Structure 1
């Protein structure tokens, strides 16, 4: 019984810590707005969850739950990672772990408590979304018969196992020292994209309808049941597939009845195995907890810096540019940033340069976008360094340093953004000068927005997720980073969006500096 009390004490302590922050309540407000947008009226020209040809279920409790369940198991499984991670790393960084090891609580129970606290946060978010869904069902009035069990069932079957996997990754990424910061956030995004792509690829597998273990998010189970039920309703063969996101349609949606979702027992067992697998994955981390706690963030950062300290050529290369007060400050900042880069970072930068210089235009543009991810920590954490290192009280005592330091951080971010994409910019300048202009505008936009979002949110993760997402959709073909088809429009839009970013930065930076 005392073990249960200790488990609940850690869980409740984490919950209080999270719910005291303004950010948590802003997230819940965003969930309410997003959940309402998931249920557009028939007159709207978009759908959030639909089948082929703009089909969707009438807004019954079962369909409301299905829509939210699919949104949660895809989008929340990504965004939720960045929302919940950090509690274990905070315990290690603040040396709270030294107190916990003195208690009778086992390492496994401690990690399970951390995992459970992540799941409780997800549960609160899901509860808010389901409450909004019930209101939407009443307002849209397409099916006014409320069924709480059918509303909750898709969330339990689909979302819970997927979010359990996300919570497990959050524990592991907080545990492994080199995954606690930006590189871990980037790596999880890659893991999420890989898992999602693999899940969707299984839809067309020869025996997909017979597989009961499904995938972490249950997409194969849903696709099979959508196809089966629509074939029963129409008496015709139906294409397997669905859309989650924002699908624009030019005609009213085609409604069909969805009163209940009948889950096969073997499918339910398969979903349960993913949940139990996530818990087992957390317990597997227990033997490494002492090792990870001994390698705190400060020690890891010291080890990382060691590689850069041997790059003596940096001093010689940058010395001619250290002219005047501002130039000296910029070069000092740039040296500090580059000295902390691992050898692997330099290798990736050289690979990006090579691809930009010698590949076809499509590969060049893709390499430029990926190169802008290399200094992601500089973009997202540049304005937060004094807060993270506790040196703000000393740094901001110098006269005029507030705005000079901000200009320096922007200059360093812009230099890295331009430098890492330089071969591509030079090729564009020779063949498409407007493309080179667009690349410069994008580099400036990324730099300013990184500083602005960091200063407003006082957390690097929102911009890290934002840039990762935009680069991903850019690689998929979106025009947000277009430097070849219509570069003039790209340059114009990024230049225009610099204005609100600069305004937000000028408003938030002095307030951050005074804290």
Structure 2
């Protein structure tokens, strides 16, 4: 069991999506410990923050990493069962005496190892940041690592268990499961900070109580001082006070053990219906294929062979083929949903188009957008791409197919916004930005999961009214300017085009 887990761990840490998620986690650690004069914060207690010593730096980076890895880390580890099935490893395991509980336990251990390795890098980042900020150069290794052990690690175990459960459960194992997990993550990240959260939640309440006690001991006014965990802008830099960390009591430690015990039971629950890749135990496939969208029965790339002729006639055929590949395997229910959104958009009052219907239209194809830049890697068809013409036209055609899909789904909104230049400009900018972001992240990670993990929070932030993320003009001119959004999209698409042109097909 241990050997299987270690082999799986070594395979996954070599994948691009691991490196990208780790880089994002390190960046979040940097944001959690901003410069003394910065006007943002990730952890805030009123107008105060702790002095940047080992205890405080370790705590804030551990809290930030716990929240991020529950979202980004979930996307990294949610593919272990599907990969075994896709690569044929599952068929080999079905012929061995390895039992289903032992197999699932090895996968859980592998998930935990992957996410814990990220925690280790973040702990090193916290150590570096303490020296970089220069407010305290005295290092207390125990105080720095304690929050990682009692706050971040239980969250990692819970995330690893949830990813395994999601892979083996109907509905959750589909691409829609990634969207469902986002809202589960919101409940855990926000509700888990409450003192009344089940099993102590994320363990934040003990930290808040200790911080509050330290503020009182320093004679600071804590009236109306509220704790917040999340990237927040502040008008003036926060004022530091010295905090030497918290000492978890027995009840706190027991609650952490209960959380991890629950997570293990949660991960092993699918043993009741998991067939261990044995086709004799199920009428359908041995295990579900965990993919963003239904796996096409026949991959469509070879159908886009371009016959000899001028580039003027060749490229439209190439674009048409890429569009068919992008849309292949889409169910009639997806088309029905897109039709309903279009029909409603054409009849609702104009003021509801940008605020309600356009956001609905531009979350509906999220699983299709996540295919951009990933399918040739995920389906391992690189060797079949010989019939394609030069590499750059193929990349351009695939990106344009995403643009066509985006414009098509939002076409009804464009019709309603024809008398609104600002809204129409935001629409056009988003048509370029969304597929560019999808292609950029897909090409970078070679996995559909990274785009799904990042786009849904971005979409939710825009719909919730956060100006700095309003890429679709929901606030009607109050968010990001349309030229900035469009330029970002073009730059990302150009980066992918240039980068791809230097690679061997």
Task: Give TM-score scaled by structure 1 length.
Answer: 0.82
The structural deviation recorded for 1:426 is 1.8
Q: 1:438 touches 1:488 (CA, 8 Å); kept in 2? A: no
Matched, 1:409 2:398: yes
Is 1:14 matched with 2:8?
yes
Residue aligned with 2:97, SS = coil
Distance in 2 of aligned mates of 1:416 and 1:73:
35
Correspondence for 2:301? none
Q: What does 1:382-461 align with in structure 2 at a 5 Å threshold?
A: 382-398=372-388, 400=389, 402-430=391-419, 432-461=420-449
Give the match for residue 500 of structure 1: 491
Going from structure 1 to structure 2, the CA distance change for 1:83 and 1:338 (only over 3 Å counts) comes to closer
Q: 1:239 to 1:270 in 2, by over 3 A?
A: farther
The question of whether the paired residues in 2 share the 8 Å contact of 1:380 and 1:460 is answered with: yes
Distance change >3 Å, CA 69–CA 448, structure 1 → 2: closer
1:46 aligns with 2:37: no
Could you list the per-position Cα deviations for residues 455-514 of structure 1 after superposition, in whole angstroms to 9, with x for gaps in the alignment? 2332222322232222111012133322553289632112222332232121233456x4
Query: CA offset at residue 93 of structure 1?
Result: 1.5
User: How far apart are the structure 1 equivalents of 2:392 and 2:462?
Assistant: 33
* 8 Å CA contact 1:64, 1:137 repeated in 2: yes
Match of 1:230 in 2: 215
SS in 2 for 1:49: strand
Aligned residue-pair number: 481
Contact 2:399–2:436 (8 Å) recurs in 1: yes
CA distance in 2, matches of 1:413, 1:260: 50
1:241 equivalent among 217, 226, 234: 226
After TM superposition, give the deviation of residue 280 of structure 1 in Å.
0.3
Would the alpha carbon gap of residues 272 and 110 (structure 1) be closer, same or farther in structure 2, given more than 3 Å must change? Answer: same
- Give the 3 Å change call, closer, same or farther, for CA 410–151 of structure 1 in structure 2: closer
Secondary structure (helix, strand or coil) at the match of 1:289 reads coil
Does structure 1 conserve the Cα–Cα contact (< 8 Å) formed by 2:354 and 2:474? no
Asked if 2 retains the 8 angstrom alpha-carbon contact of 1:356 and 1:364, the reply is no
Matched residues in 2 for 1:27 and 1:421: separation? 30
Structure 1: gaps of 5 or more residues: 1-6, 307-322
* 2:364 aligned partner: 374
Counterpart CA distance in 1 for 2:458 and 2:154 is 27
In the alignment, is the contact (CA less than 8 A) between 2:62 and 2:151 conserved in 1? yes
Residue number in structure 2 paired with 1:315: none
Conservation of the 8 A alpha-carbon contact between 1:212 and 1:270: no
Moved more, 383-392 or 110-119: 383-392
- 2:267 alignment partner in structure 1: 282
**Alpha carbons 2:158, 2:260 under 8 Å: kept:** yes
SS at 1:156's partner residue?
helix
1:70 deviates by 0.8
Measured after TM superposition, the shift of residue 302 of structure 1 is: 11
Give the one of 338, 345, 351 matched to 1:361. Answer: 351
Aligned equivalent of 1:272:
257
Deviations 1:118-141 (A, max 9, x none): 211222221222223223334444
1:90 positional shift: 0.7
Q: Distance in 1 between matches of 2:494 and 2:50?
A: 44
Contact 2:327 2:368 in 1 (8 A): no
Using the TM superposition, give the Cα deviation of residue 13 of structure 1 relative to its aligned residue in structure 2, in angstroms. 0.4
**CA apart distance, 1:290:** 1.0
Q: Is the 8 A contact 2:370 2:452 kept in 1?
A: yes
Change in Cα spacing, 1:231 to 1:158, as seen in structure 2 (3 Å) is same
Superposed CA deviations along residues 188-238 of structure 1, whole A, max 9, x for unmatched, are 2222123334335x46xxxx4xx67222x2344444444454345437554
In 2, distance between residues paired with 1:76 and 1:488? 28
Judge which range, 372-381 or 173-182, deviates more: 173-182
The equivalent of 2:59 in structure 1 is 66
| C-alpha contact 2:294 2:330 (8 A) present in aligned 1 | no
CA-CA distance at 1:43 after TM superposition: 3.0
Residues 119-198 of structure 1 mapped to structure 2, 5 A cutoff: 119-176=112-169, 179-180=172-173, 182-198=175-191
Q: Which residue number in structure 1 is paired with residue 454 of structure 2?
A: 466
- In structure 2, relative to structure 1, the CA distance for the partners of 1:293 and 1:129 (3 Å cut) is farther
Tell me the CA shift for residue 80 of structure 1: 0.8
TM-score normalised to the size of structure 2? Answer: 0.83
Whether the 8 Å contact between 1:182 and 1:376 is mirrored in structure 2 is no
The one-character-per-residue Cα deviations of 1:298-324 (angstroms, maximum 9, x if unpaired) are: 799998779xxxxxxxxxxxxxxxx96
Q: State the secondary structure of the residue aligned to 1:290.
A: coil
Q: State which drifts further: 161-170 or 407-416.
A: 407-416
**Contact 2:174-2:293 within 8 A present in 1 as well:** no
Equivalence map 1:286-325=2 (5 Å)? 286-290=271-275, 294=279, 295=285
Write out aligned runs for 1:475-494 (5 A).
475-477=463-465, 478=467, 479-483=470-474, 485-486=476-477, 490-494=481-485
- String of CA shifts for 1:147-177, please: whole Å, max 9, x gaps: 3332222222221222212111211233346
**Is this contact kept in 1: 2:70–2:156, CA < 8 A?**
yes
Q: Residue 28 of structure 1: CA displacement?
A: 4.6
Query: Is the CA contact 2:130–2:137 (under 8 Å) kept in the aligned structure 1?
Result: yes
